[in-house]
Amino acid sequence: MVREFGRPPVVEDFAPPSPSGDETVVSVTASAISRLTLGRASGAHYSAETPLPFVAGTDGVGTTPDGRRVFFLFPRSPYGSLAELAPVRREFTTPVPDGLVDAAAAAAANPGMSCWVPLSRRARVPPGESVLVNGATGNAGRMAVQVAKHLGARYVIATGRDPEKLRTLAALGADRTLTIGDAGNDYRDSVRAAVAECKVGVVLDYLWGPSARAVLLAIGGPHPPRGTDPVRFVQIGTISAPEISLAPEGLRSSGLEILGSGLGSVPPLELVHGIGDFLAAMAKAHFRVEYELLPLSGIESTWPSDAEHRIVYAVR
C-alpha cells in the first residue's frame, strides 16, 4: 500500500477485489519495479492520478481463474500489481509463452515494450537500415540492442558512458559502440560518421540531455549525413536531463523526424498486443534480462530509489 508519497509502500491487508463484467482477477506471481511504477508511487509521473491510499504496481505476471498464465497491465484503481490479487480488464492481458518463467517475463516486459513498440509500430526499420541506441548500457538499452537486431537492423550502434559496460554489448548484438564522453563535438562527429556509414534510420534515445542534443545535431546539422533520407529519432527516457535547447535550422535541412514513445503514444490495446508479441519473440530468441528476485513481504526495506537495478517482487 502507498499511504504517503515519498515513502516506500507498506505491506497491509486490503479488501479483495471483485471483478466487473469486463474484468478478470489475476492471481499475481511476480511484478517488476519500473520507472512508471516508481513514478506513480511517488506521485511524480505524469499519469499519476490515483488518490491515496492505493496499491502500488502497474503490471505483472500471474494466473487467471481459468488457469491461463498472463502478463497484465493497468489494474483498476486503487488496486495494483504488487498484491496477491489484481482486477484487470481482460483485454489488458496477454499470454506468457511456455519457456519463460514468471519473474523473467515480468522483468523483461517493460524494457521490451520501450523498444519493441517503437521499432515494430512507430518507427519501423526497413531492410538495409540500422539502429542507434543512445544509452544502451541500462536495462532498457540492453534489451533494445537485442530487439533491434532481432527485427532485422543491418547494424546496431550502441552508445554509453561506461566503456566496460559497452564492451559487453557485442554479445547481445551490438555491431559498434560509441563512448559518449562529454557529449561534445567528438561524440557528435562519431555519431555523424556512424549514421552515414551504417545508414542509420532509427535512433532510440533513452537519455535526452547533452548526448541527445549531440545526436540531433549530428543528424540534422549542416550537410546532414543522410541528406533528406528520413531518420526517425524516438525519445523514450530522460535519464540525463529533462530538457535540451536546440536551434531549428538543422531540422529544416534534413529528413529528421522526432517521435515520442510512452504511455499515450499508442492506444493501450496496441501496447498490450506489442508486449505479447515481444514476449513471444523473447521465448524464441532467448533475449537476456538481468534482475533480482525479492519477496514482496520485505518491500518496505528493499524498495528501490530508481529502476536501473531491475527488481522483481515474488508475490507467491
Predicted confidence (pLDDT) per residue in 281-299, tens digit: 999 999 999 999 999 999 9
Element (H, E) at 239: none
Residue 203 banded pLDDT, cuts 50, 70, 90: very high
Q: What is the pTM of this model?
A: 0.93
DSSP E strand boundaries for 68-175 = 69-73, 85-89, 93-95, 130-134, 156-160
Q: Report the percentage of the chain scoring pLDDT > 70.
A: 97
CATH of domain 23-95+286-314: 3.90.180.10
Alpha-carbon span 234 to 257, nearest angstrom: 8
Q: What angle do CA 51, 54, 55 make, to 5 degrees?
A: 155
Distance of CA 204 to the CA centre of its chain: 11
In the chain, which residues fall in CATH 3.90.180.10?
23-95+286-314
Helix (H) or strand (E) segment spanning residue 260: strand 256-260
Q: How far is CA 47 from CA 4, 40, 111, 227, in A?
A: 17, 7, 18, 38
List the one residue out of 306, 298, 203 whose CA is nearest residue 260: 203
Start-end ranges of CATH 3.40.50.720 in the chain?
110-260
What is the distance between the alpha carbons of residues 130 and 109, in angstroms, rounded to a whole number?
Answer: 23
Residue type, 134: N
pLDDT band at 182 (very low <50, low <70, confident <90, very high): confident
CATH topology classification for 110-260: Rossmann fold (3.40.50)
pLDDT digit string (tens) for 4-63?
Answer: 998 999 999 989 999 999 999 999 999 999 988 998 898 765 555 668 999 999 999 999
